[in-house]
Amino acid sequence: MDAHGENLVVALGAGTSISLDPPCAHAGDPWVEIHAQGLPNLLHEAVHVVLAERLDHDHGIDYGAIPFALETPEGRQVWWDELSCCVVSCAYLCRPAWGDAVDAWFAEQVEIQPVFYGFEAEPQTFFRSIPRVLASDHAAYATTLARAYRRMETLLRFGGAEPDVARPGRYLTAEDLIARQGWSA
């Protein structure tokens, strides 16, 4: 993984599978390259990788399906994955060195989302809809978030991180971060 360069995931061959099971991993030359703009973005991209359990260009997102529809289970799952990446990357930044950067990082990540859901002309409508959408399918969101936390810690432990580094500085939820942004229905 590389914390320099562009914000994209590149794999050797589309659909390259990954495994977080150490006996399935192999030694040798790196076969995965993740380019990110700084540690916060690297964490976000790593969460995409562990949620997808495979590597594909731009996480395998079908950009032809944009705008995604929050009214459909498929559209919401794209949002749950993205929202979980936003939340978990913030949770790992909950360390003294990052101070107040968590709220700014969450806002930066979420503020680009309206364009993916057809709200580019009215982003505040999208932001105000987030609590309602969360409430309408909370179990699916909570399951995705729990999986993201679990798999991210597993990845970091597999990579040799000490337990206090492999665990987030604080376990956050979207509700925590949204309330701090002032986005409400």
Q: Is residue 91 in some structural domain?
A: yes
- Residue 147 banded pLDDT, cuts 50, 70, 90: very high
Q: Is residue 88 in some structural domain?
A: yes
Mean pLDDT score of the chain: 79
CB neighbours of 104 closer than 8 A, spacing ≥ 6?
Answer: none
Query: What is the pLDDT averaged over residues 131-160?
Result: 93
For the segment 86-130, what is each residue's pLDDT rounded down to a tens digit?
A: 999 999 998 887 777 899 999 999 999 999 999 999 999 998 888
Question: What is the Cα–Cα distance from 161 to 156, expressed in whole angstroms?
Answer: 5
For residues 100 and 180, the answer to whether their CB atoms sit within 8 Å is no
Q: Is residue 116 in some structural domain?
A: yes
* Residue 26 belongs to domain spanning: 8-181
Q: Is residue 3 in some structural domain?
A: no
pLDDT score at 64: 82
Query: What is the pLDDT averaged over residues 48-71?
Result: 78
Name the range with the highest mean pLDDT among 22-31, 42-51, 100-109, 114-123.
114-123
DSSP-derived secondary structure for the chain: -BSSS-SEEEESSTTEE----GGG---SS--EEEE-SHHHHHHHHHHHHHHHTEE-GGGG--GGGPSP-TTSHHHHHHHHHHHHHHHHHHHHT-SGGGTTHHHHHHHHHHTTGGGGGT-TT-HHHHHHHHHHHHHHTHHHHHHHHHHHHHHHHHHHHHTT--HHHHS-SS---HHHHHHHHT---
Number of domains observed in the structure of the chain: 1
